[in-house]
Amino acid sequence: MTELCFQLKGSVATILLLELHHYTADAFAGQLQQKVEKAPQLLLQSPIVISLDKLRDDGDAPDLEALLGQCRQFGLQPIGFRACLRFDEAIRATGMAILPQTSGRSGAVLRELMPAGEDDNAATAQASASSGVAVPVVSRFTRLPSKIVTQPVRSGQQVYARDCDLIVMSHISEGAEILADGNIHVYGGLRGRALAGVQGDVGARIFCHSLEAELLAVAGNFMLSEDFRGKVWKKPVQVCLKGEKLCIEPL
């Protein structure tokens, strides 16, 4: 028998998050330097994930290469980015990993690790290399008119309603995927995967005529069909988030 060389395992690691709010090279360098001087033991050689979720300007991606260079210069080790789809291309060009968005409930532990007095300094903490994402993400979701699909969404197809609700007047096949920044309504069998609030709106809901889904998710919290193949199967339901738990309620 040959010995296994490796084993793949799921794991959860707590990682420092650098949440970028806006970026100009000089201001960033200055603030990062301050941060590192204050808490060198925490920041030096730390792996970090750079989040572009809260980036204020809606334009192009900031100069990511420059950003990465500065982080490394100050002893941080960026391992990847967390960002919405529109930055995918820019991130890929850097060769860094793209991490899925979560509604970000980490941070608490890190806060304790930060040197005392850090929390009082709220303004700078927010503007630079702080982890503080303890507050649930409630950002300004601007909603556009709903996207309406009249045809079935077939296996292999994906429909994404950006910045709006998604209404499908037919069925969603197994192997199909529908996503919306807002709510999802399906007036037919929901047999594929449905993800509402994909940018983190915890108030988003999924409504469907017949629940036969492979996966349901609201703001990154998901359930697989094996979790709801009971009473609600093939029934009209709504799906919403209560705290961190997905709830399925008959309509």
Partner 1 sequence: MAKIIVVTSGKGGVGKTTTSAAIGTGLALRGHKTAILDFDVGLRNLDLVMGCERRVVYDFVNVINGEASLKQALIKDKRTENLFILPASQTRDKEALTVEGVGKILDELANDFDFIVCDSPAGIEKGALMALYFADEAVVVTNPEVSSVRDSDRILGILHSKSQRAEQGREPVREHLLLTRYDPQRVNIGEMLSVADVEDILAIPLLGVIPESEAVLKASNQGQPVILDGQAKAGQAYMDAVARLLGEKVEHRFLEAKKKGFFSRVMGVR
- Footprint of partner 1 (CB under 8 A): 151-157, 170-171, 173-176
Which is nearer to partner 1, 139 or 155 (by Cβ)?
A: 155
- The one-character DSSP state at 98 is E
Among the listed residues 61, 124, 59, 68, the one whose alpha carbon sits nearest the alpha carbon of residue 95: 68
> How near is the Cβ of 156 to partner 1 at its closest, in Å?
5
Nearer to partner 1, 69 or 152 (CB): 152
Instruction: Give the start-end residues of each E strand in the chain.
Output: 16-19, 47-51, 77-82, 97-99, 147-149, 158-161, 166-168, 177-180, 184-190, 193-196, 206-211, 215-218, 221-224, 237-242, 245-250
Nearest residue (CB) to partner 1, 107 versus 152 = 152
Shortest separation between residue 188's beta carbon and partner 1, angstroms:
8
**What burial letters (b/e) apply to 213-242, b meaning 16+ CB within 10 Å?**
bbebbbbbbebebeebeeeeeeeebbbbbe
Q: How far is the CB of 152 from partner 1 (least distance, A)?
A: 6
Minimum CB separation from partner 1 for residue 187, in Å? 13
State which residue, 34 or 155, has the beta carbon closest to partner 1: 155
User: What count of other Cβ atoms lies within 10 Å of the Cβ of residue 76?
Assistant: 23
Q: Least distance to partner 1 from the beta carbon of 185, Å?
A: 18
Count helices and strands in the chain by DSSP H and E runs? 6, 15
Of 121 and 155, CB closest to partner 1:
155
